[in-house]
Amino acid sequence: MFISSHPTMRALWYCFALALLAACVRAEDVDYLSFATEDETNTTEIFRKASPAVVFVTNSTLRRNFFSLDIMEIPRGSGTGFVWDKNGLVVTNFHVISGAQKLTVTLQDRSEHAAQVIGVAPEKDLAVLRIEDPPDNLATLPLGDSSELTVGRKVLAIGNPFGLDTTLTTGIVSALGREIQAPGNRRIRGVIQTDAAINPGNSGGPLLNSLGQLVGVNAAIYSPSGASAGIGFAIPVNTVRDVVPQLISYGRVLRPMIGVELASDRWVKRYRIEGLPVVQAYPGLPAAEAGISGAFRNARGEVVLGDIITHIDDKPIRSQDDYFSALEARDPGDTIKVTTRISDQTRSYEIELIESQ
| CA 166 – CA 131 distance, rounded (Å) | 19
**In Å, how far from its chain's centre is CA 341?**
37
6 counts as catalytic: no
Residue of 95, 195, 307, 325 with catalytic role: 95
Residue of 78, 113, 125, 195 with catalytic role: 125
Tell me the C-alpha to C-alpha distance, in Å, between residue 262 and each of 53, 320, 332: 42, 8, 20
Residue of 78, 146, 203, 319 with catalytic role: 203
| CA 15 – CA 21 distance, rounded (Å) | 10
60 counts as catalytic: no
What phi and psi values does residue 329 have, to the nearest 5 degrees? -80, -10
195 counts as catalytic: no
Is residue 183 within 8 A of residue 229, CB to CB? The reply is no
Please give the full DSSP string across 188-251, using - where no structure is assigned: EEEEEEE-S---TT-TT-EEEETTS-EEEEEEEE--SSSS--S-EEEEEHHHHHHHHHHHHHHS
| CA 187 – CA 178 distance, rounded (Å) | 10
- Active site members: 95, 125, 203
